[in-house]
Amino acid sequence: HGSGTVLAVDLGATSGRVVASTVGPDRLDLEVLHRFPNEAVPTPEGLRTDLLALYRGVLTGLEVAGRRGLEPLSIGVDSWAVDYGLLRRGRLLAQPVHYRDGRTAAAVDAVHERVPFAELYRQNGLQFLPFTTLYQLVAEQRDGLLDVADQVLLLPDLLACWLGAEPRAELTNASTTGLLTLDADPVWNTALAERLGLDPAVLPPLVAPGTVTGTLSAALAERTGLPAGTDLVAVGSHDTASAVVGVPMEQPDAAYVSCGTWGLVGLELDRPVVSDGAREAGFTNELGVDGRIRFLHNVMGLWVLSQTVREWEADGTTVDLPELLRAAAGTDVAALFDVDDPVFLAPGPMTPRITRWLAEHDRPVPSGTAAWVATVVASLAQAMADAVATAGRLAGRRVGVVHLVGGGALNDLLARGIADRSGLPVLAGPVEATALGNVLVQARAAGLVPDTLEGMRALVRRTHPPRRVEPGQRPS
């Protein structure tokens, strides 16, 4: 294996980044070339993703790469799941609706009337989340917009298309639509789509991660100064799928928590688990890279903390989060709340919602910012530790270690909370697991890294060794 450079575009809930990585036998360097904010826009029509701003951010990042004289072998795009653009004759019809928009409320009932949830779960293996693409598409159809569209492209596939790729649906992200079969060789579940009144013709051909879907367009090569003919590679385009590739798991007893805006907590399995117990516990079976199953539960994640901080800032308080987290570490937690309650899903101030939740459950309400932060982080850690235990129980696996990757790996209070509450050691990092997973799948397509996930994870371990936190360990 030689070495080479690839570019990863990773779009998260609060920011996007274009990352360059040089990969070789003992090298997996990451450099953020450009980071740009991602902010959903509350329009009179509902909550929208500002896709143009994201695209501009991607272009700027590619221009930085070009100015640096980088000659990447390929570019890969990942983003959060479930969201999509509607196109007609290859053109985008509207700014994509953001999944935190409440429009699916009515569609959920309509879907479950046609296909009861228990049956849906047996077919697609997905935990109930009101924003799963199939509910969004049914809502879209009721609004009349789907009639006009001839194609639905998930956001990373859409952006790849704008860079020059063919319109495709990459499998890991396609699995979050609820419209894929659970077979070992998944295909679009056209029968299910038809039962829901959706025309399967709008769904593009599926491709596996690692597939070259095109090359950077001539216009963009000229604009950015990147080599004409740079490959566009479909990566694990669901950010969580890429993050799981980047988890330096070594043993089958490893669980993971991929923690950013969401906390995705679970195991990597060879086969889906769609038992009644898994359904009732809200466990999802999303597709991973190489046909693995991401058996996990969506925990609300740092969203609850970031919206709390945002609320204070909007009130004119200056918030120093690292300082608050240190203060919170020395604060007793009087009560926990259920971070998974759907009342916390929508954007907006959090403390009033948490206060109401605690009052309704006869639990004390924190006072002071440090106590609030302590309560939020402890509640998140508890939900994550519970999900680790439930995942093990449902899959019949003993869990011996919990990997914590993503931005949450920087949060020592969270890492210690998970260790204490699960009684298991936590291996924290890498923070940039998603970008690493994106990079690794491209590097493998170029023959730069070992073929197996295990080999790729060994490279992550060597180059980005995680920090170990034992249960009961006090802050250093």
> Least separation, in Å, of the C-beta of 193 and ligand LRH?
20
The angle that helices 321-329 and 412-422 make with each other, rounded to 10 degrees, is 30
In the window 329-358, what residues touch ligand LRH (CB under 6 A)? Answer: none
* Active-site residue (options: 101, 231, 239, 386): 239
Given the complex with ligand LRH, which of 99 and 357 has the nearer CB atom?
A: 99
Judged by beta carbon, residue 74 or residue 240, the one nearer ligand LRH is 240
Among 170, 239, 340, 432, binds ligand LRH (CB under 6 A): 239
Query: Which listed range, 74-82, 108-116, 184-192, 221-229, lies at the site for ligand LRH (CB under 6 A)?
Result: 74-82
Q: Which stretch binds ligand LRH (CB under 6 A): 37-45, 148-156, 235-243, 330-338?
A: 235-243
Peptide bond into 200 cis (omega under 30): no
* CB closer to ligand LRH out of 74 and 261: 261
The C-alpha angle 28, 59, 226, rounded to 5 degrees, equals 65
Binding residues among 297-316 for ligand LRH as defined by CB under 6 A: 298
The closest of 325, 239, 246 to 286, measured between CA atoms, is 239
Q: For residues 28 and 440, what is the distance between their CA atoms, to the nearest angstrom?
A: 9
CA distance 377 to 289: 31
Residue 82 contacts ligand LRH per CB under 6 A: yes
Residue nearer to ligand LRH on the CB measure, 215 or 261: 261
User: Minimum CB separation from ligand LRH for residue 78, in Å?
Assistant: 9
Answer yes or no whether residue 81 interacts with ligand LRH by CB under 6 A.
yes
Catalytic status, residue 101: no
User: Residue 432 interacts with ligand LRH (CB under 6 A)?
Assistant: no
> For residues 65 and 82, which CB has a smaller minimum distance to ligand LRH in the complex?
82
**Beta carbon nearer to ligand LRH, 80 or 188:** 80
Compute the least distance from the CB of residue 165 to ligand LRH, in Å.
Answer: 20
For ligand LRH, which residue of 121, 135, 256, 262 counts as binding (CB under 6 A)?
A: 262
The CB-of-301 to ligand LRH minimum distance in angstroms stands at 8
d(CA 397, CA 268): 11
Is-contact 249 268, C-beta < 8 A?
Answer: yes
CB 405, min distance to ligand LRH, A: 12
Residue 372 within binding range of ligand LRH, rule CB under 6 A: no
- Closest to ligand LRH by CB, 284 vs 422, is 284
Q: How far is the CB of 157 from ligand LRH (least distance, A)?
A: 14
Q: Residues 234, 264, 267, 428: which binds ligand LRH (CB under 6 A)?
A: 264
The nearest distance, CB 294 to ligand LRH, in angstroms, is 9
The one among 33, 72, 84, 99 contacting ligand LRH by CB under 6 A: 99
Using the rule CB under 6 A, is 80 a contact of ligand LRH? yes
Distances from the Cα of 296 to the Cα of 2, 115, 260, angstroms: 35, 23, 15
- Cβ proximity of 135 and 104 under 8 Å: yes
Minimum CB–partner distance for residue 419 and ligand LRH (Å): 23
Rounded to a whole number of angstroms, the distance between the first and last alpha carbons of the chain is 40
Give the binding range for ligand LRH (CB under 6 A) out of 65-73, 89-97, 101-109, 233-241: 233-241
The residue among 70 and 433 lying less far from ligand LRH, judged by its C-beta, is 433
- Which are the catalytic amino acids? 239
| Contacts with ligand LRH, residue ranges (CB under 6 A) | 13, 80-82, 99, 238-240, 260-262, 264, 298
